[in-house]
């Protein structure tokens, strides 16, 4: 089983498998009147990380699901990454995960059941790390390997964080550097140097537990995780929902240093250009080459934070405590013709 290379069994990889924002918009169109329920605090009307339902006692249930095809070759590592990515949606809403159930699609005639077992073991290990049980799930015979979780969490409503409540003047921070898409594409193309093999998996396996603590900071006005749509895609969603624009300093955006080498070697995920095409009209780039970092699809990426000036010191202290470089890379401004302006 050690010779298995899971990425050779799938046409996509990780959150790069996401349907592009433009196509997804057309899929979600409906003529059926939405069912209204005042207890549904976050639903389909905003493109947030999870649904949130008020329990009537000052807390709410968070419900989310996420799954994708292999982004790494090792089955156990794939399971850990997919689980971390799914659980992240709970943290991005400011909540605490309670339990998870597994979603598994497996080409049973092509890959041995023992390989799938390793994937599940990786997912279970990450769930244990997050302090939740992997309580069940569902599996199907599918042409390509697929794994993920449906996760249930809980949040105190006064600490609920959304992606559409940012305000003009908020500063922008990110808890993980960009570039995972370039590194994993290099791996799939056989160009990744052995000394760089650990970089992307270590980043992707790291759970975003810090979101629980960020949620306690009153001045944090919006929060979301950066995944398949890239930094610009998720920032566009934040700006559009909040009726603001963003101005970012490209040189201050956190980036995995090694990823720039692989971008020069043309290790560009297919999702990068799909992302650029989907929301390009909303973006003003200083140079078109900036898209290779800013539109790079992330898998189990970091948290994008919009924080008011009054809470910057508190946020930066928390980030430093968690060994995250507290770099402000942009700010929110009154909305204009472009939702994101890159300088």
Condensed to tens digits (0 to 9), the pLDDT of residues 241-285 reads: 999 999 999 999 999 999 999 999 999 998 898 888 888 789 999
Q: Is the pLDDT of residue 148 over 50?
A: yes
Lowest model confidence (mean pLDDT) among 10-24, 161-175, 198-212, 304-318: 10-24
Query: Average pLDDT of 95-101?
Result: 98
Residue 126 dihedral angles phi and psi, to the nearest 5°: -70, -40
Q: Which domains does the chain have, with CATH numbers?
A: 6-159 (3.30.1330.10), 171-342 (3.90.650.10)
| pLDDT of 24 | 76
The pLDDT of residue 105 is above 60: yes
Amino acid 25: pLDDT: 75
Enumerate the active-site residues.
15
The pLDDT tens digits for 23-56 are: 777 877 788 888 888 999 988 777 767 899 999 9
Question: How is residue 144 written in tokens?
Answer: 């390509």
Q: Is the pLDDT of residue 85 over 50?
A: yes
pLDDT higher than threshold 60 for residue 327: yes
Is pLDDT of 119 > 90?
yes
Q: What is the pLDDT of residue 193?
A: 96
- Which is nearest to 239 in space by CA: 170, 326, 327, 329? 170
Please report the pLDDT score of residue 13 as a whole number: 60
Give me the torsion for CA of 56, 154, 322, 133, rounded to 10°: 160
Q: 124 with 85: CB under 8 angstroms?
A: no
Query: Token digits for 264?
Result: 């020069």
Under a CB-based contact definition with an 8 Å cutoff, are residues 104 and 71 in contact?
Answer: no
Q: Per-residue pLDDT for 2 more than 60?
A: no
Each as own residue / partner, the long-range contacts of residues 122-125 (CB below 8 Å, 24 or more positions apart, any chain) are 122/75, 122/76, 122/77, 122/78, 122/79, 122/80, 122/81, 122/82, 122/83, 123/79, 123/80, 123/82, 123/83, 123/147, 123/149, 124/79, 124/83, 125/76, 125/79, 125/80, 125/83
User: CB-based burial of residue 125 (10 Å sphere; 0-12 exposed, 13-18 middle, 19+ buried)?
Assistant: middle
* Residue 1's pLDDT band (cuts 50, 70, 90): very low
pTM above the 0.75 mark?
yes
């Amino acid at each position: 089983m050690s010779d298995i290379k899971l990425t050779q069994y799938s046409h996509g990889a990780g959150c790069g498998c996401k349907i592009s924002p433009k196509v997804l918009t057309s899929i979600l169109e409906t003529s059926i009147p939405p069912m209204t329920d005042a207890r549904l605090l976050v639903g389909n009307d905003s493109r947030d990380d999870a649904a949130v339902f008020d329990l009537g006692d000052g807390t709410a249930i968070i419900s989310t699901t996420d799954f994708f095809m292999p982004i790494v070759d090792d089955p156990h590592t794939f399971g850990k990454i997919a689980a971390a990515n799914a659980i992240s949606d709970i943290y991005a809403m400011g909540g605490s995960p309670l339990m998870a159930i597994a979603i598994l699609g497996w080409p049973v005639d092509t890959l041995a059941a023992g390989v799938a077992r390793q994937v599940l073991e990786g997912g279970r290990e990450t769930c244990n790390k997050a302090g939740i049980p992997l309580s069940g799930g569902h599996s199907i015979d599918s042409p390509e390997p697929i794994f993920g979780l449906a996760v249930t969490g809980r949040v105190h409503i006064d600490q609920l964080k959304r992606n559409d409540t940012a305000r003009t003047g908020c500063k922008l921070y990110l808890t993980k550097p960009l570039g995972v898409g370039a590194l994993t594409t290099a791996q799939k193309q056989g160009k990744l140097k052995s000394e760089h093999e650990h970089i992307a998996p270590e980043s992707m396996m790291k759970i975003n537990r810090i979101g629980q603590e960020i949620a306690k900071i009153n001045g944090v006005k919006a929060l979301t995780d950066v995944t398949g749509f890239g930094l610009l895609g998720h920032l566009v969603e934040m700006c559009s929902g909040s009726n603001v624009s963003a101005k970012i300093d490209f040189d201050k955006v956190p980036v995995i240093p090694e990823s720039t080498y692989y971008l020069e070697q043309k290790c560009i995920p297919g999702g990068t250009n799909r992302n650029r095409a989907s929301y390009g009209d909303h973006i003003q780039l200083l140079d078109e080459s900036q898209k290779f970092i800013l539109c790079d699809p992330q898998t189990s990426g970091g948290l994008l934070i919009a924080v008011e000036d009054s809470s910057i010191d508190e946020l930066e202290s928390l980030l430093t405590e968690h060994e995250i470089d507290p770099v402000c890379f942009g700010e929110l401004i009154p909305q204009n013709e472009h939702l994101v302006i890159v300088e």
